[in-house]
A and B are shown apart, each in its own frame.
Chain A
Amino acid sequence: MARLALRRARAEARAAERVMGDVETLRSARRAYLLAAVLGAASLPMVLLYLLLVLSSFADTIVTGPDILEARYSLDNWLMFFRGEVAPAAGRLYTTADILATIANTAIVALGVTAVVVFTSVLAGYAFSRMRFRWRRGLMTFIILLHAFPGVALIIAVYAMYVWSSMPLARSEGAMVAYAFAFTVLARASLELPMSIWLMKGFFDRIPWEVEWSALIDGASRLRAWWQIVLPQVKPGIAALAIFAFLAGWEDLIYVHVFLYIGTAGKVKTLATLIEELTANIETSYLPVVAAAGTLYLLPTILFFVLTQKLLLEAYSGGLKA
């Protein structure tokens, strides 16, 4: 449906491109491949970095490149990690349940951030794109400026607010943990809000006004026109926004470090703070196991990325240009 329209538009764009493509704008295709080769060579160290991490997670040592063939590979690191053993000699520092809880915690934060960001920015983006209210322009400028504010200035005060507001909960550990999660999610989601609102506004801007007016003339209320006519058309935008928000919640280190880790005195860990903890204990740490944890942590990012690369790139540049 909407996708069909998109496909058609793309086909037309491609046809137009082909017409211009007939004109020799780059001297030869060979030169294009040469450029691609140069760029590939420049990108190689970065690819290698990721590759070595993944390989190390299966190896008995940190794979450094020249020794790729010398290392012995097995699933041992992964098994150890899921058993909660962080080094062959060391005892079990964690239980399997701890590890699973850590993964679940990471997912909870990421999904929570996604839900909050999508809900608030889809609403606000529509208002900024389509509605009249006082201070509309000023408010949008202010929100974009917030994006530029130093996060470190915010986090000190936000943590002070957290310490102060969580005092009454100190007696119940369950309430404390739930509060820490809620606070992490809301605080981290807020960090994404300025850009997300701007991105969503851009998506709403692209829908012709006439379509919305048609719905109103057909007898729909403003709310209904938004829900039934406008929202279905920004579905790809919402998908991109959700993926961005999920990745932001998933990759986060500082907020889970401050609110979940420090805030609960190390009781609630996520993959980020677990890796931080494992690596920090140099004496006990066995790096191949940490590599397994890191690879596991990296997996959803890569997955989302490969599957949705076009959508993300379009959204990213669209949000910037608007």
Chain B
Amino acid sequence: MRPRVNPALFFLLPALTLIAVFYVVPLALSIYIGFTPLRNWNIAGGYLSQVTLENYERLFHMVMYDPDIGKVVATTVVFTVVTLAVNVLGGLALALTMYLMDLSGRELSLGFRTLWMLPRMTPIAVYSLMWYYFFLPGEEGILNSIAMRLGLIDEPVNWGNDPDLLPYGAWAILVVVNGLVGVSFGMVVFYAALRSIPREQIVAARVDGASTLHLVLYILIPQLRWHITYVTVWQLLSLLTTYAHIFLLVEWGAVDEFWGSNWALYVFNKAFALGESDQGLAAAAATILVLIGAGLGVLALRLMGFGRMMAEPRGEV
């Protein structure tokens, strides 16, 4: 009586096809390209049949001796660590503030939560454009204009490129721009977690005479420990692999090409540069990211307690 083909296949087929074509095949292909000297997208040129370790050797050599790559590596580390801290701590601060606001019984935080989600949802080109205006080197740049009016500087500053400010100027721009995008993730997770803490605990703590500071330190934050770890790992992962929000800032020259590029953006530009492009090297560099990403991803799922969320279906019809 049981049909030969599981009906689940019908439901899964479209998604699985897309996943196979746009994840599984490319992933294998990307790793393979890393072992070929493919350049300038010359797919038909016979590069793809030559297997070599040359890209990894070059990559190693560049990291060791090429000062530009050294800048990219340093930027990647600093950018990732500092933005991560901004994201997690900022998200925590936002969530706590909003939660405490809402404790008064009025839903005051809804508008704020939406507002802080906005950078994530804003078209990347527009978001980059706004920051481009903000850090514009001339007098018409927003930051320059405000700082000059306030008398903080006499002449407009080239925030992302001035040799005197490098690398800190470029780094600060990257952190501000990406920090604002990432902060909403922590905010949403922490806020939801705080809201799920039984209200009775807060009442009990108040009855016991806890001040708001006590409440935060001894009741709220300890219960967020697990969420903080989870957000940190997940956010670390996405910061390591993000490049879209930096891409235009580098292309438009708002930040220095190397002090303003992280590893992922370097890979992207290596592969898609308009002139000489080198997909073999880019794919090899991307493979390193994949390895780190896979490790962190598995860790994040462990932390999420992922298995528990996959309850078995009930019934057998």
Chain A residues at the B interface, C-beta cutoff of 8 Å: 17-18, 20-21, 23-29, 31-33, 35-36, 38-40, 43, 46-47, 49-50, 52-53, 56, 61-62, 64-67, 116, 119-121, 123-124, 126-127, 129-133, 136-137, 140-141, 143-146, 148-161, 163-164, 167, 186-187, 189-191, 193, 197, 205, 209, 212-213, 216, 222-223, 247, 250-254, 257-258, 262, 271-273, 275-276, 279-280, 282, 287, 290-291, 294, 297-298, 301-302, 305-306, 309-310, 312-313, 316-317, 320-322
Contact = CB atoms under 8 A, between A and B. Distances in A.
B244 interface: yes
A67 to B, nearest CB: 7
13 contacts: A20-B199, A26-B101, A32-B106, A46-B180, A65-B146, A144-B306, A152-B267, A153-B289, A187-B22, A251-B124, A276-B125, A279-B252, A309-B111
Interface of B is mostly: helix
Given A35-B97, A132-B6, 6 more contacts: A49-B134, A50-B118, A124-B11, A145-B297, A148-B294, A272-B124
Candidate in A143, A197, A257 with the most chain B CB atoms within 10 angstroms? A257
A317 B19 contact: no
A297 B127 CA distance: 11
A257 B252 CA distance: 15
A145 B294 contact: yes
Candidate in A143, A145, A213 with the most chain B CB atoms within 10 angstroms? A145
Contacts of A310: 110
A124 B12 contact: yes
A287 B146 CA distance: 18
Q: Interface range on chain B: under 10, 10 to 19, 20 to 34, or 35 or more? A: 35 or more
Contacts of A129: 313
B121 interface: yes
Contacts of B306: 141, 144
B251 A280 contact: yes
Contacts of A320: 188-189, 192
Contacts of A132: 6, 8, 312-313, 316
A320 B91 CA distance: 15
B14 A120 contact: yes
Contact of B121 (A20, A209, A247, A273): A247
A157 B283 contact: yes
Interface stretch (B36-44, B51-59, B74-82, B160-168): B36-44
A74 to B, nearest CB: 18
Contacts of A136: 310
Contacts of A190: 18-19, 21-23
Interface in B99-142: 100-106, 108, 110-119, 121-126, 128-134, 136, 140-142
B142 A153 contact: no
Interface in B1-24: 6-16, 18-19, 21-23
Given A127-B11, A150-B289, A297-B123, A160 B114 contact: no
A280 to B, nearest CB: 6
Contacts of A291: 129, 133
Nearest to B22: A190
Given A148-B300, A317-B191, A156 B271 contact: yes
A158 B41 CA distance: 12
A10 B264 CA distance: 44
B145 A148 contact: no
Interface string B300-317: 110000110111111111
A229 to B, nearest CB: 13
Interface in B200-237: 200, 202-203, 206, 212, 234, 237
B279 A149 contact: no
A28 B192 CA distance: 23
